[in-house]
Structure 1
Amino acid sequence: MKPYLEDVYKLSGLPTYTFVKPVEYQKLLVSLRTPGRGLVIEGPSGIGKTTSVSNAIVELGLKTKTVKLSARKNDDRALITELPEMGKIGLVIIDDFHRLDEATKQIIADLMKTLADEEDEKSKLVLVGINKAGNSLIEFAKDLTNRMDIIRFESNPEERILELIHKGEQALRININIKEEIAQNVHGSFHLAQLLCHHTCLDSQVTEKSEVEKTLTVSFEVVKERVLEELSRTFLGIARKFATGPRLRREGRAPYLQILHWLSESNDWSLNLEQALSLHPDHKASVGQVVEKNLLANFLAKNEEMFAEVLHYDSNTRILSVEDPKFVYFLKNILWSKFAQQVGFLSTYFKCCYDFALSFAGPERDIAEAIANKLSDAEIAVFYDKNEQHRILAENVEEYLAPIYRTEAQFVIVLLGQEYPKRIWTKFESEQFKSRFGQSSIIPIWFSDAPPNWFDETSRVGGLEYNKNKDKDSQIDYIVDILLKKLAEARGLNEHGKQLSLEF
């Protein structure tokens, strides 16, 4: 019987004709043979982890002794929690381990320690998950490190991708003229190689084994464009939803868009957000707030039905990973400046680390905090000292604060209460930003119990008023609304609201 295209370059399931042993395969065989010792296999989706385990089990003659469970299935999750009570469990493989809840991960960690210490020849756990899956397990049992093997599957080298393509060519009796371009373009993913080869054959009217050797003559760009068009129907809505976050804030700093962009640039299809923020310190006040306040975790949980199949976020390790390799391919081929504009953001270029910095005396802290919180909710980067105490700790405070008020904040909001001229720190802060008067960057807020006089330099610039005898919340809402409009104008809009400049 002739092999069909769908059996050769498969879009799902285990490969029939095109299995290629990854670089880590021999290490996998040895670890599977080792009694009792736990094994964690981690790496990006679509590079052959599950396929390699399945083939290795057959090669070692262990297929009849193996139970495969998936953290995606409700019945399997219930069974996983009961494993410690089952005695001799044989070889148990738990796929998508990272999807288990924390209580179940703790149960598995404890069981792995027990099996390793006993060197049980009739019980072994193999966990398969995305990047850094082993890290999340160690969070529950620090002493597990020396009791298990962690095999990290990396992106496959081009020669392995070409080997896969060649096996498919032999099965279909064809010669793919763009195999080198495919190998270079799939970022080490066997799954993506299968996908592009499948569409290459469809474009060449190849649906089964050819009667005679056939050389295909297709354009890689045409194939790629058709694949991306198909992926766009599936993933564009998901990407847009993630990029906007809980709500589109056109004048905001687009923290969710930034996270998605950083993820697209990752070579291993996962993003350690703490490391990313250290590489992009100018986003600490926007993306940092989304991460540290668990807004990202809450957003993904609230929209689990949309994101669960493509993204996974571990709030303990703060690692965001891609579940579907096709989503990675889609992200890596987005024109980001155009995408950001289509989503609705005014700009993705910010000349300052902070949009606003607050300067105030102690009696006005409640007003300052209310303004800071509302600006942060609007995804605006605002410097408010209380939010950055962990960063200021053990630093030279003057050296830390001075550049913020001098240049690192686009606007300085000055809350001019009665105590403002009398306090040491407000005097220090005002010394830093006084040279910015006349640069349209200082926004005074005058309090009803401390109106400005003619000799007050702030009286010569436009500002806002706060009346301590009126409702606090309504005044805060009004002030924040005015600040957001000012920022939107500064982001680069003309009077008709049209985009003037937007770049990534």
Structure 2
Amino acid sequence: MAKLTVEDVFKINGVPTHTFVKPSEFSRLKVALRTPGRGVVVEGPSGIGKSTAVTKVLDELEISADVVKLSARIPAEVEYIELLPELGDFGTVVVDDFHRLEDATKARLADLLKVTADQEDPKRKLVIIGINDAGKALIRSSPDLSNRIDVVKFEIEPDAKISELVAAGERAFNVKISASEHVVEKARGSFYLAQLLCMDACVSAGVTEKPDDEVTVTTSFSAIQRRVVERQKDRFGEAVRAFARGTKFRPGGRAPYLHILKWLSESDSWGISIPDEMRKHPTEKASVGVVLEAGYLENLTNKENISKILHFDPDTRVLAIENPMLIFYLRNVSWPEFVREVGFTKVDYAETYDFALSFAGEDRSYAEHLRNALEDNGHTVFYDYAEQHRFLGQDIEAYMGPIYASDSRCVVVVLGEMYGKKRWTLFETSQYKTRIDAGEVVPIWSTNVAPSPFDEMHGRGFLNFDPIGDLLQQATSHAEVLSRMIADRVSGSSVAS
């Protein structure tokens, strides 16, 4: 008789047998799955045990053999999923990886769930499995669906459940794992991660088949962690670095995507709401807001190599882990070393904005092109119209004054014909004038204005723009110069520090 192997016990593929532990939501899921006609949505982070729990419940209900299981990751099965509304009495169908379906398909499934629930059809039952907020995606497609489906949320499991899994594996495999407490802690509520860490501990100790007598596996957790992280670096490293660098990598840039990755690594739920995280991290709020609102984050996560590990929902604005091992890698990687590998020269900034634009309304067209070009280059820019909603009802001078005085790395002054003749340009000048001697104010002179020998800006390096020329082309060119200037200054300050 063949001996039990470590991969049979601590399973990282398929449904576990010896180490299956009923998740916290198991009973609720069981009731939902046996209710005729009513749709069920099972949502939660990857690797939390959703699919396994559904399979185990169906086994207990003795209906597994009659259930059709489909995955949105398999093109041929996606075609079948799209046909479900036309198939009549299809029995019980489980659709996994729902979040990967096209919006139109999600909407058709939402309509199907509604009709099936209204009819309490015992011959049709649809079970949806997806990552965080799969239920919200369905309800967006059909708002009146909310009372017609059961949404079962799988959260991070308590340590007691993870300990139960480890203990069951130890009994089945006849071992005692010295690092079991660390495994429970570092698994952070994931059955999958606990399985993998236990398996690695045994393999590292050379215990790959069940011993006749109990063996103590003495592999240190730090050794397990190093090996697992190194393997995941080979597996995810290229895609993670590509995400951290973003669409337009600049060593001296604000690194918004790097900050998003760090927020994700610190999350307990393996998925984050970007707007919620922005509120928690005001220093990075502006730079992350740019890539969120401009659609850069969505475009980046749609790239083939990145979409395999991260999923971004542009409606809920939730970024979620697609592969459970990625979260372990992000939580245990050396972040200072990772930042160096990615190539950023500086990540933490004292100032909220890279550039604050000061201009008269007559030059707004040029200023707006400049703002867009600078943001395309990965910079945070203070531009009055973009901030209007923030200072409504507030003292505008109290709000804007600090931005020009100190909360921007550089003030860019568009010196057109009306500059200095308008109230707000005079106010902004009063705030940034002490920064001129430090070289923190860059003038961009209109070709229609001759610098006065008595002007404080006279004699300082400047750029020119022609108000009747191609404003977009000029702004794009000027943004490149300003970006290089900031990069040089960041690089210099990093060397100095």
Query: C-alpha deviations, 1:453-495, integer Å up to 9, x for none?
Result: 132222264433335577656654553233223212332426x
Q: Who is 2:186 aligned against?
A: 185
Q: Who is 2:174 aligned against?
A: 173
Counterpart-to-counterpart distance in 2, 1:148 and 1:474: 54
Unaligned stretches of 5+ residues in structure 1:
none
Q: Is the 8 A contact 2:254 2:380 kept in 1?
A: yes
2:285 matches 1:284? yes
Deviation for aligned residue 1:257 = 1.1
What's the secondary structure of 2:45's corresponding residue?
A: coil
Q: Aligned residue pairs: how many?
A: 496
Query: C-alpha deviations, 1:299-344, integer Å up to 9, x for none?
Result: 222x22x123211111111111001110000011122222112211
Counterpart-to-counterpart distance in 1, 2:37 and 2:488: 64
Q: Who is 1:452 aligned against?
A: 451
Deviation for aligned residue 1:134 = 1.2
Q: Which amino acid aligns with 1:53?
A: V
Deviation for aligned residue 1:396 = 4.8
What's the secondary structure of 2:36's corresponding residue?
A: coil
Q: Who is 1:433 aligned against?
A: 432
Unaligned stretches of 5+ residues in structure 2:
none
Q: Which amino acid aligns with 1:386?
A: Y
Relative to the length of structure 1, the TM-score reads: 0.94
Q: Who is 2:442 aligned against?
A: 443
Q: Who is 2:324 aligned against?
A: 325
Counterpart-to-counterpart distance in 2, 1:461 and 1:423: 23
> 5 Å matches for 1:233-252?
233-252=234-253
Closer/same/farther in 2, CA of residues 471 and 75 from structure 1, 3 Å limit: closer
What's the secondary structure of 1:61's corresponding residue?
A: coil
Q: Is the 8 A contact 1:346 1:499 kept in 2?
A: no
Q: Is the 8 A contact 2:70 2:93 kept in 1?
A: yes
Q: Who is 1:98 aligned against?
A: 99
Counterpart-to-counterpart distance in 1, 2:201 and 2:412: 58
Q: Is the 8 A contact 2:248 2:378 kept in 1?
A: no
Relative to the length of structure 2, the TM-score reads: 0.95
2:385 matches 1:382? no
2:194 matches 1:162? no
Q: Is the 8 A contact 1:269 1:321 kept in 2?
A: yes
Q: Who is 1:422 aligned against?
A: 421
Deviation for aligned residue 1:500 = 5.0
CA-atom RMSD in angstroms: 2.0
Closer/same/farther in 2, CA of residues 37 and 395 from structure 1, 3 Å limit: farther
Q: Who is 2:487 aligned against?
A: 488
Counterpart-to-counterpart distance in 1, 2:113 and 2:469: 63
Counterpart-to-counterpart distance in 1, 2:239 and 2:412: 37
Q: Which amino acid aligns with 2:287?
A: S
Deviation for aligned residue 1:448 = 2.4
The answer to which of 141-150 and 96-105 deviates more is 141-150
Query: C-alpha deviations, 1:43-72, integer Å up to 9, x for none?
Result: 111111110110001101221331111111
The answer to which of 468-477 and 344-353 deviates more is 468-477
The answer to which of 150-159 and 402-411 deviates more is 402-411
Q: Who is 1:151 aligned against?
A: 152
Closer/same/farther in 2, CA of residues 287 and 215 from structure 1, 3 Å limit: same
Counterpart-to-counterpart distance in 2, 1:125 and 1:499: 60
Q: Percent identity?
A: 44
Q: Which amino acid aligns with 2:300?
A: F
Q: Is the 8 A contact 2:252 2:491 kept in 1?
A: no
Deviation for aligned residue 1:447 = 2.1
> 5 Å matches for 1:470-485?
475-485=474-484
Q: Who is 2:196 aligned against?
A: 195
Q: Who is 2:45 aligned against?
A: 44
Deviation for aligned residue 1:430 = 2.0
